[in-house]
Structure 1
Amino acid sequence: MTLSTTVPRALRPPELHGRSEEIAAVESLVGGLRAGRGGVLVLTGQPGLGRTALVEYARAICDPVPSVRTVVPAALPHEGPLLVRIDDVHTWHPAARAALLAELRRLPAERPVAVLLTLAEHRSGAEELNGLTALRLSPLGDDAAVALLDGLTQHRADPVVGAWLIREAAGNPRLLTALVEALTPDQLAGRTPLPDPLPGGEDLLDDYAAHIDELPGDARSLLLLAAAAGEHEPDGAGADLALLLRAGGDPSGLAPAEAAGAVVGAGGRIHFTHPLLRRAVLRRTPIARRRATHARLAAVCRDHLSRLIQLACAAGDHDARLAGALADAATAPRPHAERSTALARAAELTADTALRTDRLADAAEAARLAGDPVRARALLARTAAVPAHGGVHRVRGLLALSDGPAADAREALLTAAVLLPPEPARHALIGAAEAAWAMGDVAAYQEAMARLPVCADDPSLESYRAGMCAVLAGRTAEGHALLRRCVDDVPTTGEPAALLRAGSAALVVGEVESACRAGARALAAVRAYGPEVLLPRALEHLAYGELRAGRHTRARAHALEGLRAAHRIGQPNVAVSLHAVLALAASVEGDAEACSAHAAAVAAGAGPHGLTQAATLAVWAVARADLAAGRPADAAARLAPLVAPGPRRGHFAVRMLAVPCFVEAAVRAGRTAEAQSATVEFTRWAGSTADRLAPAQLARCRALLAPPQQTAAAYENALAHHDRSPGEFERARTQLLYGQWLRRRRRTREARGPLRDALVGFDRCGARAWADRSRGELRAAGEAVAGEPGPGPLAALTPQQQRIARHVAEGATNREVAVRLSVSHRTVDHHLRNVFAALGIRSRVELSRLLAGDGGLPDRDVEIAAHL
């Protein structure tokens, strides 16, 4: 056996990204060896995924245990402890490899020899590894690929360049490294366009394609046709077998290609088992033969656009006629991804710089609409020679609207509007207005809408433009009339963008159900006809409408679907807005942990990108969760900056919606003057808004601030308003506050009615934490709540003492309990002394343990209480 002994003294393990599971397995193998136990670990995977790097990692960490490397077949050594490293065992003769694997299966655990071997996944059958511990290396995830890229470039790569490199590397660390090394500093920094195709990684592509070199000629020819056909197919769609056969492919070549693991045939299509394998087949083919193959496919393509794309691939130089034909064919109803491919090919064939830039900008816009922002930006990066191009600025601005700072998106779109003809300029200005809205900048929104030309050919858009301008200028009645016309003018099966606009108009005029219908129709239209880029936004609009309608469970379901779509398509700004919707839903449902997590996600994205609307919604959600948990002082502190005048105020379209929460929190926290000031402003807003909940919420705010002799009548007035408006959750909140006030005034018999109604209302809309508060108030009012467990060790206490005991056991201070129960601090002190006496305990810790032992308090809360 040829052994290379290496006993390193101070090797530094290589930095590995995204390999935590594999590193743990290697460390476990080496750790067992140090403890005198042997073992075997097999690492498999496609070429370039890091098998050898993991072997080097094992070598670096095995000190002081000796390590040897073998490169040729031989018997395993008997002495130990010893780590044996065998890399690329697939290069051995099959008989030698089979003998080694058989010996490894017989290796006793007490023999202090550990073996780490690797083999390429496509070189061996799965049966060879039976009985051995094996780990299959997968491609790197995006986060790990970004970390690797940052390390390779010292964080100097342009974001657009970096995203394209990561896309092209397909999670392969060796290929990503090769691509980076093949580019110049100017190309990496985005100062000069990237070459197309990207250079680098040729040896890796050779490794991918090497295992098909021994296939019969008819199989290799069929694979070349399949790889070339993929140039006009969407990613992952495979190649049409009938097309390949018409182009001269031999059907007998499919079976050996499948047996070699190169392709899979299904449903009349051929799919390569790895995208890099398809790329390798093309790159390793001489250019003349490759062009001839494309020409063969073009001759038999029955689809016009597919034939043109194959002709473009076969072309060797600029071809104005073919480029024009491609551009003319890249229109609806073709999917946007196909249009982007065709326009990009047309640009490659175009010699004129200005026309080439036009076509690249159109290709980038089609890629954006297809939900592929990485490709869109890569196409724009090829247009650096023409900086003052309206189409380029427009696409950049629309991309930034989904994943960049809103202010940058606005400026790019305003610049584009100056450079573009009227129709595309109109769409750029609408985008600029959307950016200003997200920022909470009223003046910027009005500026963009004012620059929008009168839309005589689109009455719905004109009604929306004029209506929003009138509302923001204070002409509320005029604006609402125009916006209602916008809602009415949109047909049932209108364009998704027009339907979303109608939904927004419906919310402004208080027609929440109309907003939900428009959102549902927009979602159906996007799913049926596209564009894919609007899917997350349609789900966001629908989820927010359902939230305003009080259907929190449905809002959460649509928001979660939208969040997945936003991450898949690459729209972090929309994801931030969806997190805000989810935080609001959680604040109603009583999931404080989820509310906090979603609000944190909003804060992480909203701050850097200037998304004031989402940030305001998230703060409101957390404050509402504070109110549900009985922390009014925290809620008031969060909301005060948003609802008060000043530079920190919340979004102009949202802040008034949060005022009723602030008034409730401020009154309960003793900040009465601030609550009165906010109510004055809310009164003015309620007089002009079409929000149907506003009159009832205003009446509730007045009841909270009313003198004692007028409070009951004020609450009855608020409930009368609720009878004329939707919103079961808000009605239940008013009933809860009314019941609390009655109980605090010792009118317990009267309090039970509104408290029961509040409990039913909260239960019906899934507001668990709020329902728990209602149950607690009912217990304090002397009424047992059906379906609740008995009080256990607290059975001897009064309902009020039980409530105080539970709050104290959860870790609340006496002052916090007083605020939660709307009683004085001295009342809590008095009751707590009686609780201790009745239960025969002497401390808060004993109380926590007593309730925990009865199952009434989680262990985590016991630990918290014990430290207070």
Structure 2
Amino acid sequence: MPKHSLRGRDRELALVRALLRAAADGHGGALALTGPPGSGRSSLLASAVLPGTTRLTVTGCPAEASLPGAAVHRLLACVEDGPAVLAELRRRAVAGPLVCCVDDMQWLDRASLAALAYAARRLGGDPIALVLAGDDDADDGLDGVDRVPLDPLDTTTAQRVLRDLVPDGLQGDVAGVLVEAARGNPAALVALAGGLTAPQRRGEAEPPVELPADSPLRVSHRRCLAALPPATRAALLLLAADESVLPERPVPVTRCVAAVEASGLTVDALQPAERAGLVRVDAGAVRFPRPLFGAVVYAEATLAERRAAHRTLTFSSPAREVWDAETVLRETLHVAALADGPDGKLAAELADAAPPEHALAARALRRAAELAADPADADRYRVAAAGHAWRAGFPHRARLLLRPGPAGLPAPAWPTAAPAPAPPVVVSAERELLLAEIELRAGVVADAYQMIRTSAEHTDAAVAPGTVMLAAEVLCASGERARFAAVLRGVAPHHEPCVAELLNRHFDGLSAMFGGNLAGAVPPLRKVLTLAGRMRDPAVLVRAAVAGLLIGDDAQAHRLAHRAAGLARDAGELATVPQALEIAASADLALGGFEAAVSTGLEGLRLARTTGQENLADNHLGLLAVLAAMVGDRAGCVARVHASRARSGVDVDSPSWALGAWALSLLDVADGRHQAALTRLTRTEVGRGSLVVQAAGVPTLVEAAAGIGRPDLAAHALRIFEAWTACTANPTWLALSARCRALLAPPDEAESHYVEALRLHVLGDSDFARARTELLFGQWLRRARRPAAAREHLERALETFEQFGAGPWAERAGAELRAAGAPVLRAAGSPVAKGPPSRADAVLTAQQRRIAGLVADGATNREVAAALYLSPRTVDHHLRNIFVRLGVRSRTELAKICRTGDCTDAAPHR
């Protein structure tokens, strides 16, 4: 069986195989695999094979659907009712386990299906597996049988199927066209890929968007269509024609009814299709539940029939004065479908009808470009359409629209005419800027750098804002930060005053930072954050959030990034959402919100893949690998690093590569492999392609260098890190800087740096970072032969690691505690209380007993935090758990319990 056959069906395949294994052990049962034609149900049935079993198969036959018992007769050579069928299956299973497979169950006669359903519900104690497959909308009468729906393949899986089908590879944008045209249907992917010519595979000719006429899936749909009455087929063509011009929007019921009646039919003509599940009416709209069927309805019609359908639709609309924006666009697209050649006036009307929603605007402007009589107008419409397509999450559509023509200039996606005159400079600059952003997120970063240079050379006031905002990301990702000012020299953004000031401050701040003037970068970048509060452009907010990360204002970066994501969702800018979530997840990480960072990163990864932004998806994978490494999840970390580097051509200077190196170095440090960690980080210059790693990776580098006794190897990086943290005034970053100084300091100076680090951690937000410092300080104190003082810090570290589920770090803290003379209940556990346990001893950890004792003495949460080197948020978390564990509801009740002697170890050791 070809490996593409079951791509994306791992869950369903596992269920089938589990059923077969259970049947082989004498615990049989049944499954019904349901999905549209081409969804892979027959391939799954073919996989229902287990050595040592007998296999029976039958496939539904439309010609016999009205013959009672026909299917059971072909399967078992008998015509019987349910009990008799069950008895026959059991008789055949006496010799060994039996696997019975039924395909196309929607074509089984009702008597056979009822008999099989009766048997299916009674196989729990028999060595029999019954696997059925059929349409997802069939009225099958299989109540009590587990159903397994076969959902459409997601974009990532569909791309993998194409790689299986075309081992030599497809030009990336061609693959995107095929994935979109197949709509998640595996058989459609097979048909579309199988019909490609060599020029189409290379991207030199337009790829197919319709199923080949002889493909099994189209033949199946054609038969289904042919079985319907002529009036029903005519009504379906009207619906398909209306969907074809605006597939992003459902067709309103009122519009569909008006069109059907305008054609001389009645709405009853749709009833046979409704009964067959081929059309569905819900939420005031009519739609094809199987979009590929609707596409076949349109494709099977003749040109004259299609034009007649579009003409009917234009004449059946309500009076123009009551049209909304969507109706205006739909009607104009129908008129465009009737156009016989270039029509500049109609092209302009389409451009004017383009709505704010990006997917719809891209469709309108692309058709306008095809109709434009003036090549300059066509170029302008095409670049605008590409911009909307990109922001809507369709990079392949955008790149095809921007494909250079024979003269190296923007031209139709598949040029057939002579070269057009050169477009205006502004169009060229917009084109290069847009291509740079697409390459940054979904292509080759080095190419993006060259495009930014070209855009900067040809830019004007309209393009300058985007050039300045994007250039920093491109130059960072390509490792060319030092050239930022030089590349953009002369680009003066002139825009509305507030935006212009933000862009100018952004440029000033980045120029200073990339030029090594960290202190000079902070004021303008902080001004960017202030100005961003008044902005609503998601792209501007994303770059402002990056400015927040650059100056260590992680909380503001977090707020701006989430605001950008929300605004982008509302505006339909799907490509921007995962970009914003990347910054939000980085901010969550810096703020110590591990669960939030993981949740945000996973959502960003899903959306990056959905919108074809593979580079961005790799960045999310890299960040998720870092999060896994921080809590010691080795398997999760390594899997994500490998996934982020799986694509060919991933640059070792890319952000994802740097994040992966940092993640693996964190695992190395956790395992005590300091030399390996040092090698990884120095090989990538501590994150050449990632400013996040450039800063956040330094503490790992310092710890690794200290671990092998070579502080000199981290001295330069630490000097830059100290200068940066000093500019941020962020207590968490300042605490990490103090920890680094402690690791590299002489023995007589280290303690003061550790104490300072812990003081700063209390003012910050990252409890995990504080626990890491506590562990390092505890280790240092134990080795300095001060075990009592060491235990205080190690116990706090252990408890925090356990809260985060960081097993390896908890085990390390537990080992250090044992070495410091403290009994530990388990390798990674809490200290064991000595003597008879009191009420608090029995249910509270050592840390919780300290907090309870201080609170009982009248300390506020902030005072407890200062005394125990915790954040107030952590104290509040502990206090809620203490109340629950002791069954108290107030501080007064807690004080009464503590006065009985249950919380005697509250005072911290000094």
- Partner of 1:291 in structure 2? 307
Please state if 1:622 is matched with 2:664: yes
Task: Determine if the alignment matches structure 1 residue 553 to structure 2 residue 595.
Answer: yes
Task: Give the drift of 1:723.
Answer: 5.0
Closer, same or farther in 2 for the Cα pair 1:469/1:605, shift >3 Å? Answer: farther
Letter in 2 for 1:314: L
Q: Which residue of 1 aligns with 2:75?
A: 104
Q: Does 1:396 align with 2:418?
A: no
| 1:604 partner SS | coil
Q: What letter corresponds to residue 238 of structure 2 in structure 1?
A: L
In structure 1, what is the equivalent of residue 201 of structure 2? 188
Superposition deviation, residue 338 in structure 1: 0.8
Deviation at residue 406 of structure 1 after TM alignment: 0.9
Q: CA deviation at 1:536?
A: 0.5
Cα distance in structure 2, aligned partners of 1:26 and 1:776: 46
Per the alignment, in what secondary structure is the counterpart of residue 510 of structure 1? coil
Equivalents in 2 of 1:117, 1:760: separation in Å?
56
The SS at the match of 1:467 is helix
Cα deviation 1:19-64 (Å, max 9, x = unaligned): 7889999999999xxxxxxx99999875566789899999xx999x
Question: Matches of 2:728 and 2:650 in 1, distance apart?
Answer: 32
Within a 5 Å distance, the mapping from 1:630-641 to structure 2 comes to: 630-641=672-683
1:336-379: CA deviation from partner (whole Å, max 9, x where unpaired): 11111111222332344443343233222211111122333344
Q: CA deviation at 1:279?
A: 1.0
Give the stretch that moved more between structures: 337-346 or 758-767: 758-767
Contact 1:580 1:598 in 2 (8 A): yes
Paired with 2:732 and 2:203, the residues of 1 have a C-alpha distance of 52
The structural deviation recorded for 1:234 is: 3.9
Match of 1:226 in 2: 239
Partner in structure 1 of residue 885 of structure 2: none
Residue 321 (structure 1) aligned with residue 337 (structure 2): no
Give yes or no for contact 2:553–2:728 (8 Å, CA) kept in 1.
Answer: no
CA deviation vs aligned residue, 1:541-583 (integer Å, no higher than 9, x gap): 1111121122222111211111111122221211222122222
Amino acid at match of 2:740: C
Letter in 1 for 2:272: P
Per the alignment, residue 581 of structure 2 pairs with 539
Cα 1:751–1:365 shift into 2, 3 Å: same
Q: How does 1:549-588 map to 2 (within 5 A)?
A: 549-588=591-630
Q: Aligned to 1:654, what secondary structure does the other structure show?
A: helix
Q: Provide the secondary structure at the position in 1 that maps to 2:226.
A: coil
Report the RMSD for the aligned CA atoms in angstroms.
Answer: 4.4
Which position in structure 2 is the counterpart of 1:746?
Answer: 785
Distance 1:769 1:15 in 2: 38
Task: Quote the residue 1:825 is aligned against.
Answer: none
Q: CA deviation at 1:748?
A: 1.5
Deviations 1:818-864 (A, max 9, x none): xxxxxxxxxxxxxxxxxxxxxxxxxxxxxxxxxxxxxxxxxxxxxxx
The answer to whether residue 706 in structure 2 is matched with residue 667 in structure 1 is: yes
Q: Take 1:25 and 1:481, find their aligned partners in 2: how far apart are those partners?
A: 59
Amino acid across the alignment from 1:408:
D
Contact 1:406–1:610 (CA under 8 A) maintained in structure 2:
no
Q: Does 1:169 align with 2:182?
A: yes
Residues in 1 aligned to 2:220 and 2:89: alpha-carbon distance in whole angstroms: 35
For 1:92, what is the secondary structure of its paired residue? helix
Structure 1 counterpart of 2:257: 245
Structure 2: any 5+ residue segments left out of the alignment?
22-28, 77-84, 121-129, 136-149, 404-411, 836-910
Distance 1:730 1:455, change over 3 A: farther
Distance 1:47 1:491, change over 3 A: closer
- Alpha-carbon separation, structure 1, partners of 2:597 and 2:41: 45
Letter in 1 for 2:385: A
Structure 2 residue identity aligned to 1:270: V
Question: Aligned pair in 2 of structure 1 residues 415, 197: CA closer, same or farther (>3 Å)?
Answer: farther
**1:706 counterpart (745, 764, 777):** 745
Asked if the contact 1:181–1:200 (Cα under 8 Å) also holds between the matched residues in 2, the reply is no
Check whether the contact 1:693–1:726 (CA below 8 A) recurs between aligned residues.
yes
Distance of 1:751 and 1:83 partners within structure 2: 68
Q: Which residue of 2 aligns with 1:307?
A: 331
Q: Which string of whole-angstrom CA distances, capped at 9 and with x for unpartnered residues, describes residues 737-759 of structure 1?
A: 22222222222222233334434
Aligned residue among 218, 224, 232 for 1:205: 218
Cα distance in 2 for partners of 1:621, 1:351 equals: 55
8 Å Cα contact 2:178-2:209 kept in structure 1: no
Q: Distance in 1 between matches of 2:473 and 2:711?
A: 37
Q: 1:409 aligns with which of 444, 448, 470?
A: 448
Pick the aligned partner of 2:65 from 73, 83, 94: 94
Q: Kindly report which structure 2 residues correspond to 1:756-775, keeping only aligned pairs within 5 A, or say none.
A: 756-759=795-798, 762=801, 767=806, 769-775=808-814
Query: Cα deviations across residues 501-533 of structure 1 (Å, max 9, x unaligned)?
Result: 222222222222221221222122123224111
Q: Which residue identity does 1:526 align to in structure 2?
A: A
How many positions carry a matched residue from both structures?
755
| Counterpart residue identity of residue 242, structure 1 | T
| Shift in CA distance, 567/222, structure 1 to aligned 2, threshold 3 Å | same
- 1:461 Cα deviation (Å)? 1.4
Show structure 1 runs of 5+ residues with no match. 1-12, 32-38, 66-80, 796-868
| Residues 151 and 467 of structure 1, relative CA distance in 2, 3 Å threshold | closer
Aligned to 1:364, which of 373, 377, 386?
A: 386
Contact 2:433 2:467 in 1 (8 A): yes
The equivalent position to 1:275 in structure 2, one of 291, 310, 315, is: 291
User: Is residue 606–residue 614 contact of structure 1 (8 Å, CA) maintained in 2?
Assistant: no
What amino acid is aligned across from residue 364 of structure 2 in structure 1? A
Further displaced range: 201-210 or 250-259: 201-210
Q: 1:492 Cα shift?
A: 4.7
Q: Give the secondary structure class of the aligned counterpart of 1:134.
A: strand
**Equivalent residues in 2 for 1:765-804, closer than 5 Å:** 767=806, 769-784=808-823
**What is the rounded CA distance, in whole Å, between the counterparts of 2:364 and 2:689 in structure 1?**
45
Are residues 455 and 509 of structure 1, via their aligned partners in 2, closer, same or farther at CA, if it must alter by over 3 Å?
Answer: farther
Counterpart of 1:215?
228
Amino acid at match of 1:557: S
Q: 1:42 to 1:201 in 2, by over 3 A?
A: farther
Contact kept, 8 Å, 1:411 with 1:432, in 2: the verdict is: no
Identity over the aligned pairs, expressed in percent?
Answer: 33
Asked if the contact 2:549–2:557 (Cα under 8 Å) also holds between the matched residues in 1, the reply is yes
Contact 2:210/2:295 (<8 A) preserved? no
Q: Tell me how far 1:482 sits from its aligned partner.
A: 1.0
Any conservation in 2 of the 1:90–1:97 contact (CA below 8 Å)?
A: no
Judged with a 3 Å threshold, the aligned counterparts in structure 2 of structure 1 residues 481 and 186 are, in CA distance, closer, same or farther, namely: same
What residue is the counterpart of 1:822 in the other structure?
none
Shift in Å at residue 652 of structure 1? 5.7
CA displacement at 1:613 relative to structure 2: 2.9
Structure 1 residues 461 and 143: alpha-carbon distance in aligned structure 2, compared to 1, 3 A threshold: closer
Report the Cα offset of residue 470 of structure 1: 1.8
SS in 2 for 1:371: coil
User: Do the aligned partners of residues 478 and 43 (structure 1) sit closer, same or farther apart at CA in structure 2, a change above 3 Å counting?
Assistant: closer
Is the CA contact 1:305–1:326 (under 8 Å) kept in the aligned structure 2? yes
Q: Which residue of 1 aligns with 2:274?
A: 258
TM-score when normalising by structure 2: 0.72
Q: Shift in Å at residue 198 of structure 1?
A: 7.8
Structure 1 residues 451 and 438 mapped into 2: Cα distance closer, same or farther (>3 Å)?
Answer: farther
SS of the counterpart of 1:270? strand
| Structure 1 residues 480 and 705: alpha-carbon distance in aligned structure 2, compared to 1, 3 A threshold | closer
SS of the aligned residue for 2:280 comes to: strand
Structure 2 contact 544–560 (Cα < 8 Å) conserved: yes
Aligned to 1:34: none
Contact 1:44 1:118 in 2 (8 A): no
Seen in structure 2, the aligned counterparts of structure 1 residues 633 and 254 have a Cα distance that, compared at 3 Å, is same
Relative distance call for 1:711 and 1:690 in structure 2 (3 A) is closer
* Residue 696 (structure 1) aligned with residue 667 (structure 2): no
Query: Per the alignment, in what secondary structure is the counterpart of residue 362 of structure 1?
Result: helix
Aligned-partner residue type, residue 307 of structure 1: E
Separation in 2, partners of 1:26, 1:535: 37
Q: Find the partner of 2:413 among 367, 383, 388.
A: 383
The one-letter code sitting in structure 1 at the alignment partner of 2:413 is: T
Alignment partners' CA distance in 2, 1:557 and 1:589:
15
Cα deviation code 1:696-717 (max 9, x no counterpart): 3333333333333443334334
TM-score (ref. length: structure 1): 0.76
